[in-house]
Amino acid sequence: MMRSQVFERFAEIVKACPQAVALSFPEVTDTGLTQGKSRVTWTYQELFDEVSKLASVLFAAGIKEQERVAIALGSQPEWPIAYLAIQAVGGIAVPLDIKSSYQDIRFIIEDCVPKLFLTTRKSCPNLTKSVLSDNLCPLLLLDKEERQGWQPQSPAGKKEGRLPPDAISALFYTSGTTGTPKGVMLSAANLLANVRSLQSLQMLRKDDVVISMLPLHHTYPFMVTCLLPLLTGCRIAYPANISSQELMSCLNEEKVTIFVAVPQVFSLLHNAITQKIKRLPLPLRLMQKPLANLCWLIRRSFGVNIARLIFSSMHRSLGQRLRFMISGGARIDTRVLADFYKWGFTVLEGYGLTETSPVVAFNTLSRFKLGSAGLPVPEVKIKIVNADNTGFGEVAIQGPNVMQGYYGLSEETRKVLQNGWLLSGDLGWIDEKGFLHLAGRKDEVITLASGKKISPEEVESFYGANPFIKEICVFSRRQQGFLGEEGKLMAVVVPDEEYFRQKKEARIEEKITWEIERLSLQLAPHKRIKGFIITNEALPRTRLGKIMRYRVSEKYKDTVFSGQHIVVKQTGETQPPAIEAPVIERMLAYLSRRMNHPVSLDDHLELDLGLDSLERIELLLELQRYLGIEIPEESILDFFYCSTLKELSQKVSPYLKARSAGSVSSQAAFDWSVALKEELPDEMRSQIRITPSPIDKIMTYAFMWFFRALFKICFCLEVRGAENLPKKGPYVIYANHTSYFDGFIIACGLPSAMLLDCFFLGMRKFFVNPFVRNFIKGARLIPIDISLDVLKAMQYCSYVLKHGKIVCYFPEGQRSPTGELVQFKKGIGILVKEAEVTVIPAYITGAYQAWPVSRKFPRLTKIKLTFGKPLTFNELSNTIKLTNERKEVGETRRGGASITEGERHEEGGQAYETIASYLKAKLLEINRGGRSPCS
């Protein structure tokens, strides 16, 4: 029996420290469940005995030198047993991803034809059944009860020997992010060379405890959390699962010193820490950032890490003995990395490929550079080939860790192995100190029509740092076949719906659009996303977190882009909610009539049905009436945050039990004219002071004096068309919205008497301070949440208009990220049509230049405010041929057919939208100097 040199190296470690603990893992019961917090430890000698038992079984099964054996296991103690046992008989280990599809596993098995398939009952039961049913490969179970009957035996009549160093030790299949799996042949010499290189960096010690939670079919976790620790004499700790609670428990109980993860894990940790910081009392929260920066400065200058003491609570949560953390598998966000260092953690980033066993470069404890992949490890050389005049080109690697080739793919091997160098396919450069910097894959670089090259990872990292964006994948039609503008960047965006809920923001599509446009202003024009898809389906990724671009491309490349962006529905089987089928049927039937097309439980209220804030309110009120239920006001938010119809139906269920099953109204349609004519509740009236008090007047005059002087001196504010303002209300002033200044600018443009009668709408989040809450009554501010309080906002506005007052309204709903006038919300249409009031257009120029969304602080520049001519409701009605006639239920169109619920709702909505569009056009006329008398 010929043994691999890897096994011989392991045997030497066992001989040197037989009683040292090799593995620690949770105790598992006979049913496959973990037994409380009880953990089991194996010494190196005990691990060696388990390996020897399995090696005897493999030999008895006829496994010979250089025959392949598949390993289908998770990150568990059976994995190193299986691998080392295969090395003990001179076989070739073929690690498989237990999360892979059966098609991928079948491809690998048929490609390399393993003699055995090693797994456990709980690792991948469905996959195992498929392999057995199709007779792809004989199965050998490694469960505890199976191993108990095994005995280590010396093979009779066989002499033990050593395989040559270039004998294949493992066959790692990799498709990366590009497609068809390729088998990478790594010899014992390749793997041991990488172990030797990493050991020479002297980062691991024999008393280290390394946590193993990443899938071991990838060479990065295989090397760093399995082979390297075992050949160094370290201890490996396996958590029961990868839940945050179990990971924290394992880190603390096992006194883990080295935490190995992928960038996604570090991003999750970073988000958790930053959320905790945001919940700190204000003084501590304000101190945190400058204190962290000071700690980082001291650490860089003097090598003293005082942040471990200052942020000790953070360090306790991850284990007091943690020496450093390692990130690999993909590039980590430099901002995330920098924050961890500022908090006193050490996160070492490296670079490697499956083809290089895998580590090529590494940041060490003594020599590291944030944002770089590190220095070449000992015995490895790196150079940049086909470089441009800046030194940017393809990374080439040479060393004893470079693979033997691709299994059965000699032509593919020749393409990447040239003159003793491996062409990695990665682009980058080497700085003056020898640190390697990466800039994406060669085959993923986007070349625009202008010839400019863009790394999609760089663009994704920039946009993806926005908390409203959970995932993003960038493409160019020029390279990926997307139906977008030639050579322009397009993207697939997955919103972070949990963050939307936290921020009480329900307008997913609108908010994502605004955020992307705002962020784009900070980039060079050729790097800006010009169109995008919003989907609530997670992007396909490798087990180490890299986006599988070829799969994203296949899924979305045939999607037709409509305008700037479209929405794509998540697909998949629908599990019926736990409520009565008749209720579901009634809801879906009603909603299908309302929407004028079939709907399903998986439909997203915004992304699929296109319901904005106003329409969500209408839907909720209509459902209450249609289903005969009453939802308390304090519970409305729960319904407002429902993402899908399935969630909505589950929320409705408890209220249905309080009334009879048949109480369904035939008149469910929501009518804004009725809602705005209802009396305002006392609680709401108490928030509004219609008649200003003497103190209110003093405050208003002081306000006017201060801000008029400020805007006149700093921004040369010029007001035109003030003579167009009626002296008495009711009327609505509507204006474009480009900066935080806009409300103040309108106020400064109004005469004193009018300002005392004018009410302004403002975002609630700016009025949470108790002092401000007391101030807003006198300042005639109506605080609203544009996502949640739209009905209240309309009722407040209608109330003050009924009392002959003035309302200042910004129909865009938010600041324009580009300074251009964006689509008006239909709220302005509702208010004007149902209140039947005069409207005054007001256009502000220069405010965007003074304080655009991309700036934290304003700059001095000229601002001009222009009031247009008043437009009475009668003039508006005659111009756009509105009618105030209400269509009653049962009204028929020509031919006697009944008007449907959806048509009735659509007809009302179109009238509001028509008004909103017309008012936008009138505002644009002022900007262009069209028919405005003030031009």
Residue 716 within a domain = yes
Cβ of 778: how many Cβ atoms within 10 Å? 17
Q: What is the pLDDT of residue 908?
A: 54
**DSSP notation for 663-679:** ---S-----HHHHHHSP
d(CA 211, CA 78): 15
Structure confidence at residue 771 (pLDDT):
53
Nearest residue to 464 via CA among 650, 335, 572, 646: 335
Q: Say which residue the tokens 């928030």 belong to.
A: 687
Final residue of a structural domain among 155, 188, 221: 188
Instruction: Say if residue 624's pLDDT is above 50.
Output: yes
Between helix 901-928 and helix 827-835 the angle, nearest 10°, is 100
Nearest CA-CA partner of 495 in 517, 476, 528, 467: 467
Mean pLDDT lowest for which of 222-236, 348-362, 568-582, 783-797? 568-582
**DSSP secondary structure letter of residue 420:** T
Does the pLDDT of residue 882 top 60, yes or no? no
Token pair of 630, please? 């009453």
pLDDT at 519 exceeding the cut of 60: yes
| Domain's final residue, options 410, 442, 474 | 442
The band of 934, judged by pLDDT with boundaries at 50, 70 and 90, is very low
Q: Residue 583: its pLDDT value, please?
A: 61
- In a domain, residue 230? The reply is no
Confidence of residue 579 (pLDDT cuts 50, 70, 90): very low
Q: Are residues 771 and 687 in the same domain?
A: yes
For 136, the domain range is: 2-188
Asked whether residue 206 is assigned to any structural domain, the reply reads: no
Asked which of 99-113, 458-472, 652-666, 887-901 is least confident by mean pLDDT, the reply is: 887-901
pTM for this predicted structure: 0.70
User: Does some domain include residue 155?
Assistant: yes
Whichever domain contains 467, its CATH number is 3.30.300.30
Indicate if the pLDDT at residue 563 is higher than 70: no
Report the 3 state secondary structure along 577-615: CCCCHHHHHHHHHHHHHHHCCCCCCCCECCCCCCCCHHH
**Rounded to an integer, what distance in angstroms lies between the CA atom of residue 796 and that of residue 815?**
22
472 found inside a domain: yes
Residues 424, 519: one domain?
Answer: no
Enumerate residues 6+ apart whose C-beta is below 8 A from 209: 24, 234, 235, 236, 237, 254, 255, 256, 257, 258, 321
pLDDT of 891 reads 44
Task: Decide if 218 is inside a domain.
Answer: no
Reported as type and span, the H/E element at residue 43 is strand 34-43
Provide the pLDDT for residue 767.
53
Q: Nearest-CA neighbor of 260 among 311, 216, 201?
A: 216
- Distance, CA of 238 to CA of 209 (rounded, Å): 10
E strand or H helix at 194: helix 188-200
User: What percentage of the chain exceeds 70 in pLDDT?
Assistant: 82
User: In angstroms, rounded to a whole number, what is the distance separating the alpha carbons of residues 313 and 304?
Assistant: 19
Least confident of 225-229, 285-289, 371-375, 781-785: 781-785
- The whole-number pLDDT of residue 373 equals 95
**Minimal CA–CA distance to 518: which of 734, 335, 738?**
738
What is the average per-residue pLDDT within 386-398?
A: 92
Q: How far apart are CA 318 and CA 326, in angstroms?
A: 14
Q: CB-based contacts of 140: which residues, under 8 Å, 6+ apart?
A: 57, 61, 116, 117, 118, 119
Does residue 675 lie within any of the structural domains?
Answer: no
Phi, psi of 644 (to 5 degrees): -120, 170
Residue 176 confidence class, pLDDT cut points 50, 70, 90? low
Instruction: Check whether residue 558 and residue 600 sit in a common domain.
Output: no
CA distance 377 to 364: 10
What's the pLDDT score for residue 909?
Answer: 62
pLDDT, the chain, mean: 83
Alpha-helix residue ranges (DSSP H) falling in 782-884: 790-802, 827-835, 847-850, 873-880
Q: What are phi and psi of 6, to 5 degrees?
A: -65, -45
Question: 380-394, 532-546, 715-729: lowest mean pLDDT where?
Answer: 532-546
Average pLDDT on 913-935 reads 75
Higher pLDDT, 362 or 475: 362
- At a CB cut-off of 8 Å and minimum separation 6, what does 154 contact? none
The CATH number of residue 657's host domain is: 1.10.1200.10
Residue 168 falls inside a structural domain: yes
Same domain, 544 and 606: no
CATH number of the structural domain spanning residue 303 = 3.40.50.12780
Residues 65 and 55: their CA atoms lie apart, in Å, by: 12
Q: What is the mean pLDDT of residues 912-933?
A: 79
Task: Output the pLDDT for position 418.
Answer: 94
What are the distances in angstroms from CA 408 to CA 69, 181, 203, 212? 17, 12, 37, 32
If asked whether residues 543 and 478 sit together in one domain, one would say: yes
| Residue 184 sits in the same domain as residue 101 | yes
Mean pLDDT of 500-524: 83
Q: Per-residue pLDDT tens for 700-759?
A: 888 889 999 999 999 999 999 999 999 998 999 999 999 988 999 999 999 988 999 999
Amino acid identity at 672: W
Average pLDDT over residues 424-449: 88
Would you give the DSSP letter of residue 332?
P
- What value does the mean pLDDT take over residues 919-935? 70
Q: Same structural domain for residues 753 and 901?
A: yes
Q: What are phi and psi of 290, to 5 degrees?
A: -60, -35
The answer on 555 and 505 residing in a single domain is yes
Contact in structure between 24 and 41 (CB atoms under 8 Å): yes
Q: For residue range 834-856, what is the model confidence (pLDDT) as tens digits?
A: 999 999 999 999 999 999 887 88
Between 5-16 and 78-88, two packed helices, what is the crossing angle to 10 degrees? 120
Of 523 and 160, which is predicted with more confidence? 523
Claim to verify: residue 556 and residue 638 sit in the same structural domain? no
Residues 359 and 449 in one domain: no
Kindly state whether residues 534 and 419 are assigned to the same domain: no
Residue where one domain finishes, among candidates 171, 188, 205? 188
Q: For residue 668, is pLDDT > 60?
A: no
Which tokens in the block code for residue 217? 């079919």
Which tokens in the block code for residue 353? Answer: 């490929």
Q: Per residue, what are the HEC states of 827-856?
A: HHHHHHHHHCCEEEEEEEECHHHHCCCCCC
Q: Is residue 25's pLDDT more than 60?
A: yes
Q: CATH number for the domain including 784?
A: 3.40.1130
Which residue is listed with tokens 């959970």? 470
Tell me 354's DSSP state.
G
Check residue 730 and give its pLDDT: 94
| pLDDT for position 931 | 42
**Number of domains the chain contains:** 5
Say yes or no: 182 and 95 in one domain: yes
